[in-house]
Each structure stands twice: as structure tokens, then as C-alpha cells.
Structure 1
């Protein structure tokens, strides 16, 4: 299907030269303890360059170190299979890096860390991974599910090839206090019910992904064998395909 995008979607002119999209990952945390599932959203600072003041999910580009960080458990084989679908093709190590990046970005931006205590000693991790060492944890991607993939249209200031992951709130193992504040990238965090008014301010593409998540959640427990949509620009509109091997 194809839907035309608003001309002022990001208030970015479409005259930038072609930029290869950078691999990125987004994590949508879901709380299913109530009758209506809730998702965790953050409000971006008004002074940031990308989507200032917008309601967003934590995420960002893959770092070179994401593939080298030790984890408490490997990514599930079925998740790896989904990440390897589509084009351009990626390697299993890149698939792992994408899943780990989603966990890192969530911990950096929200202070919520998905981890597990390993059987052996925890190595001394530094930088954005230090909170895991402090809590005697390693990042744990085993509870992630791939919901969608989307590529920013050509001509934008920043282009990303983003994989949207989700995980249950019960997988949060540690919270770092003071990450979200008035001068941070995210100035506020809130759990909101699917379909509620705050979610109407999401970026249009993110709203499409959230709709896909809502459909998945309505059918019961999340499964890796569900179809994963792929959104990309085509002919001035937005095309939705299904990722294939």
C-alpha cells in the first residue's frame, strides 16, 4: 500500500544529496499488566537537532562497539532470522549489534536497562555500558522481538535504516536514576496506553510501527514467526512490504 507523506513532515527541505542510511535501532517497552497495554515514551528536548520537542521511543544509530559487548544470553535464532531478512543483506554479527544497540540506547536515554546476572563474573564495562557493571548485569537481548524496519526517505538531513524492537517491561532489570531531566535529551518519560492522545504526536512513521505493534499485541503473546513489515519511500509515498528471506 502507498500513502502520501505531508510536505512539512520534519520541516526539512528535500534537496540534500543522497546519504546512505545509517543502521539504527529503536526499543518500544510494553507494560501488559493492565487491561490496555502501555508503552514507554519520552519527550525530546526542545533544543535537540532531530525531532525537537517530539514524543519518541528511545533509539539511535549502531555503535562500532555494540557487536563486541558481552551479553548475558545470545539473541534468539528466530530473531536473528528476522533481522537477516530483506535487503541490503547484513551479517549475523550486524544483527546482534542492532539488538544490542536497542538495549544500549534505552539505557542511555531512559535509565532503564535490560539485563541479566550471568553465571560467572561480570567484566568491567565502560562508557554507556557501565550501569550494567555497576548492577552486576550484562545486557540481555533474549527478550527482544522485531516489530518493523523502516528507512528514512532520501533527501533528508539524517537518514536511518531503523529496526524497531519491542520488549516486555518485565525484562527491565536495573534503573539508573537522574538520566531523564530538564537538560537531558529526553526531558520526560511516561507510560501511555495504546491509542491514547499523547501518541498522536508521534512521528508519522513511528505511528505506523506502533499500529503494527498494536495488531501484534491484540493476537496474544508476541511471536517471532509473525510477519515483519518494511516501510520505505516510493514515488512520493510510503510503501509497506513484508520482509522476506
Structure 2
């Protein structure tokens, strides 16, 4: 999508996003790209959104969603790696907000996929979105998360998000709930090889981020913290790629 004009991006997004007057300022959001490596092949977890949803109906997406202010007040067993924490806190994002963004990726992965990332131990919080962690004795951990990309939804959408894409490995999951998560946004979960995921029915920005991740894994299979971060946003009428 790098270098596409506003009209080209609008055409690419027309089947995924409701176009029209929307918020001028995008809301913070986070997405978790959960990875699993088996027999030398890396797979990624995607879920299909219900066809009745107004936002990206029927598309395969990563678990994720808007950051909740309460996420900033949830205790963790381990924090972010300092290098990734620094990159998430760049610009106008405070360290507290960066932590909340990372935690929202973990919360959304539980709510949408029934996967609890953290450490098995006693855990207490009164925040409603984290009751599953309390019930299953999992303290959320940020230490395994890696910051891999950022993208801001272009103007002219009913919903706009400033999304940070984080990655983690399946072995970071402490509990997998057989019945899935409490939310009903995803009707199908699938582990796909990255090449297959790129060809699946995914939004254009998801395909772009998958391509970025494929290239990073080829050069950096362990996802070492602190790597350069691709950042996509609209600048002077073109959707451009910067590096953070």
C-alpha cells in the first residue's frame, strides 16, 4: 500500500471499511499477531468476523480492538521489554498509555479467541474485561510481546484507529479455552501459514502487515526487541510507509 493515493486506498478499502464522515482523530487500538512455528513453517492465528458486523464483515483479521483506559490499571507479572516499550512510547504516547495499548492486545485476544497470555499464578483485578484471567489464575505478561508495525486508518472512514501491531508466540499462551472467548466477534479461528494468510480474504492493511512480518521473520526469526518498525499513514494525499 506504500505510495497509494487517497482514491486508490479508498477503492482498496471499500469492501472492508464503511466510508464517510467519521472522527478526525483516530482512536488508539492494538492487534496481536500470534505465531506458531512447526516443522520449520510459521503459522499465524486469524479469525473470521461475523458477516453481520458493519466493520470488516466476513474478513479474516487478527484479534484486536480499541484500547480501554482501564487497561492502564491492570497489574502484570512482567512488563514490556525496554526497547519495545521505548518505541511504543515514542512521540505523544506516554509510557502509561503504551502499557495500556500492549495490555489491550492481550485482553482482546482473550475476549475474541479465548487465549490467555501470561503466567499461571494468582491474579486479582476488579476490571471487568479481565475476569477470565482472575478465574483461570493467569497474570498477564507483556514480556513476550514484540512491537512489529503501526498503521493509522486514513481519513474518510466511519471508524478510524491508530493501531499498534504486536506479535507473540503460541508458547506465551498460558491457557487456551476450548469454548473460545466471551466476545462473539469472530466465528472461526484458523492457524494459517503466513503465505496462505496473505492470500486469504483479509483487509488490505492486514495483507501489508503480513508481508512486513514475513520479511522480518526471514531476517530475524526470533523477533529481537527494538527492531525498526514500519509505520503506515496518510500524508499529503498518499498512504506512505515510514520507519520508527
TM-score after normalising by structure 2? 0.90
Measured after TM superposition, the shift of residue 55 of structure 1 is 0.6
RMSD across aligned C-alpha pairs, in angstroms? 2.0
1:189–1:128 Cα change, 3 Å: same
Within 1, Cα distance between the matches of 2:230 and 2:146?
A: 13
Paired residues of 1:44 and 1:52 also in contact (CA < 8 A): yes
Q: Which runs of 5+ in 1 are unaligned?
A: none
Q: Secondary structure at the match of 2:112?
A: helix
1:15–1:157 Cα change, 3 Å: closer
Measured after TM superposition, the shift of residue 125 of structure 1 is 4.4
Within 2, Cα distance between the matches of 1:113 and 1:95?
A: 20
Measured after TM superposition, the shift of residue 216 of structure 1 is 1.2
Matched ranges for 1:31-70 at <5 A: 31-70=36-75
Q: Secondary structure at the match of 2:97?
A: helix
Structure 2 residue 128 is the aligned partner of structure 1 residue 127: yes
Count matched residues: 238
Q: Secondary structure at the match of 2:38?
A: coil
Map of 1:175 onto structure 2: 176
Paired residues of 1:56 and 1:202 also in contact (CA < 8 A): yes
Map of 1:218 onto structure 2: 218
1:199–1:173 Cα change, 3 Å: farther
**Cα deviations by residue, 1:73-103 (Å, 9 ceiling, x for unpaired):** 1111111111022x4x110000100110000
Within 1, Cα distance between the matches of 2:18 and 2:236?
A: 17
Paired residues of 1:180 and 1:186 also in contact (CA < 8 A): no
Bigger CA drift: 230-239 or 41-50? Answer: 230-239
Within 2, Cα distance between the matches of 1:197 and 1:167?
A: 17
Within 2, Cα distance between the matches of 1:172 and 1:73?
A: 14
TM-score after normalising by structure 1? 0.90
Map of 2:98 onto structure 1: 95
Within 2, Cα distance between the matches of 1:133 and 1:54?
A: 31
Measured after TM superposition, the shift of residue 214 of structure 1 is 0.8
Bigger CA drift: 167-176 or 197-206? Answer: 197-206
Map of 1:142 onto structure 2: 143
Map of 1:3 onto structure 2: 4
1:171–1:156 Cα change, 3 Å: same
1:233–1:200 Cα change, 3 Å: farther
1:139–1:13 Cα change, 3 Å: closer
Map of 1:112 onto structure 2: 115
Q: Which runs of 5+ in 2 are unaligned?
A: none
Q: Secondary structure at the match of 2:200?
A: helix
Structure 2 residue 211 is the aligned partner of structure 1 residue 193: no
Within 1, Cα distance between the matches of 2:172 and 2:22?
A: 41
Measured after TM superposition, the shift of residue 230 of structure 1 is 0.5
Paired residues of 2:234 and 2:240 also in contact (CA < 8 A): yes
Within 2, Cα distance between the matches of 1:169 and 1:59?
A: 16
Within 1, Cα distance between the matches of 2:154 and 2:13?
A: 11
Q: Secondary structure at the match of 2:211?
A: helix
Within 2, Cα distance between the matches of 1:107 and 1:83?
A: 22
